[in-house]
Amino acid sequence: MTYKDIVSLLGADAESLLQHESKTFPRAQLHLPGPDFVDRVFAQTNRSPQVLRNLQQLYSHGRLAGTGYISILPIDQDIEHTAGASFAPNPIYFDPENILELALEGGCNAVATTFGNLAMVSRKYAHKIPFIVKINHNELLTYPTKYNQIMFGSVEEAWNLGAVAVGATIYFGSEESSRQILEVAEAFERAHQLGMATILWCYTRNSAFKKDGTDYHVAADLTGQANHLGVTIQADIIKQKLPETNGGFTAIGFSKSDKRMYTELSTDHPVDLCRYQVANCYMGRAGLINSGGESQGDTDLQQSVRTAVINKRAGGMGLILGRRAFQRAFADGVELLNAVQDVYLASEITVA
At how many degrees (to 10) do helices 300-314 and 3-10 cross? Answer: 110
CB 249 within 8 A of CB 226: no
In angstroms, how far apart are the furthest CA atoms of the chain?
54
Angle at 282 between CA 280 and CA 287, to 5 degrees: 90
Question: What are residue 165's DSSP bridge partners?
Answer: 132, 197
Provide the 3-class DSSP secondary structure of residue 287. Answer: strand
Among the options 134, 146, 210, 239, which is catalytic? 239
Torsion of CA 29, 30, 34, 38, to 10 degrees: 100
- Whole-angstrom Cα distance, residue 159 to residue 161? 5
The answer to whether residue 239 is catalytic is yes
289's enclosing H/E stretch is strand 287-291
3 state DSSP class of 200: strand
Catalytic amino acids?
A: 239
